[in-house]
Amino acid sequence: MRLGKLNYRSIASVSRRLRGSNIGLRVLAVVLAIGLWIFVNSAERGSVEQLTVPVSYSTLPQGMVIVNHPATSVKVEVTGPRSLLSLLDPERLTLKIDLRSIADGPSEFKIYPSMFNVGRNTAVTSISPDSLSLDIDRLVTRDVPVHLAVEDRVAPGYMISSVDITPPNVTVVGPSRYVAPLTSVNTEPFDLKGLTSNTSRSVEISPPDPSLGLSTGHVDARVNVTEAITDRELRSDVEVKDSDFKYRVEPKQATLTIRGPAVKLAGLAPKGLAYVDANGLAPGSHEVPLQVTVPDGMQLMRQSPDKVRIRMYHERLTTADDEHPS
């Protein structure tokens, strides 16, 4: 009987102790839960997300063009609960810049946090850059002559007589500040090295500025090459033709300036160019015109002297080998 009472009391005591311990655990669990909730909620409210948001430029007036290269995106910093920040889509936050009332010239657009629809319980705290710079110009169209750029030279003794370009002009479209000063547009270099005859090629046009549009990207160019015309000075012995008598002529040489194709002129020999006609001259002293003969395609520009003095002797020339007195 005593043993039974002891067991009952012992069991009751243990039961009371367990119930007291269970309450403590419950209290501890509640405290931990509250602390965890406060920690998580605090962390949620203090989260930061960095996003790269696209910039869209719209409704630019017709006939206007953006000359510079404005930013195509901005970096924003958003704070708020992490669960909400994770749902943000940069594409849906696109910054839209309305240009419908913009004028030509520089413009500045200030960016404010309110321009980003990030939703409740979140806020934009930083924007970089916080302003956008645009440079606007009028779009114009002009016809501009094409200039053939060349490199190297034609063969020695030759020259370019003319250049034909088809089409001779191109239409240029672009910002007025770049189109207005144009006097011509250049082609890529046309190689002339060693040319001695007319040559045709298709050549690309070199755009004066990347922002300009051209009605065509190439032209057909024909370079017409002729022999260069130049002057050459020669000293020619004065010959006497059709003389019946022995003679002496003064001066014995003439200075001639002849104009003609450079290549042919370089090979021209002075012998036989200057002469006097002694046909019918009697013995005695005579002043006669100096005559000059030049090949076809050449022209006598100057001669010195215009006249020479020839003395005809009484002694007749008997054979072709007879020499006139020195």
Q: According to the model, what pLDDT value does residue 3 have?
A: 42
**pLDDT surpasses 50 at 2:** no
pLDDT tens digits along 124-145: 999 999 999 999 999 999 999 9
**How many whole angstroms separate alpha carbon 251 and alpha carbon 307?**
9
| Contact of 67 with 137, CB cutoff 8 Å | yes
**pLDDT surpasses 90 at 34:** no
By CB atoms closer than 10 A (0-12, 13-18, 19+), residue 116 is: buried
> What pairs with residue 54 in β-bridges?
73
Q: Model confidence at 31, in pLDDT bands (50, 70, 90)?
A: low
Query: What values do phi and psi take at 8, rounded to 5?
Result: -65, -45
Q: According to the model, what pLDDT value does residue 10 have?
A: 55
Specify the higher pLDDT residue, 1 or 122: 122
User: Lowest mean pLDDT: which of 5-9, 165-169, 247-251?
Assistant: 5-9
SS3 10: helix
Q: According to the model, what pLDDT value does residue 103 have?
A: 93
The pTM (predicted TM-score) of the whole model is 0.61
Q: According to the model, what pLDDT value does residue 230 have?
A: 94
Neighbours of 63 (CB within 10 A): 9
pLDDT tens digits along 217-235: 999 999 999 999 999 999 9
**pLDDT surpasses 80 at 45:** no
| Nearest of 51, 53, 75, 198 to residue 129 by alpha carbon | 75
Q: According to the model, what pLDDT value does residue 5 have?
A: 45
Q: Model confidence at 89, in pLDDT bands (50, 70, 90)?
A: very high
Query: What values do phi and psi take at 82, rounded to 5?
Result: -60, -35
Q: According to the model, what pLDDT value does residue 321 have?
A: 47
The secondary structure of 209-267 as a DSSP string is STT-EES-SEEEEEEEEEEPEEEEEEEEEEEEES-SEEEEEESSEEEEEEEEEHHHHHT
Classify strands 169-175 and 131-147 as parallel, antiparallel or unpaired. antiparallel
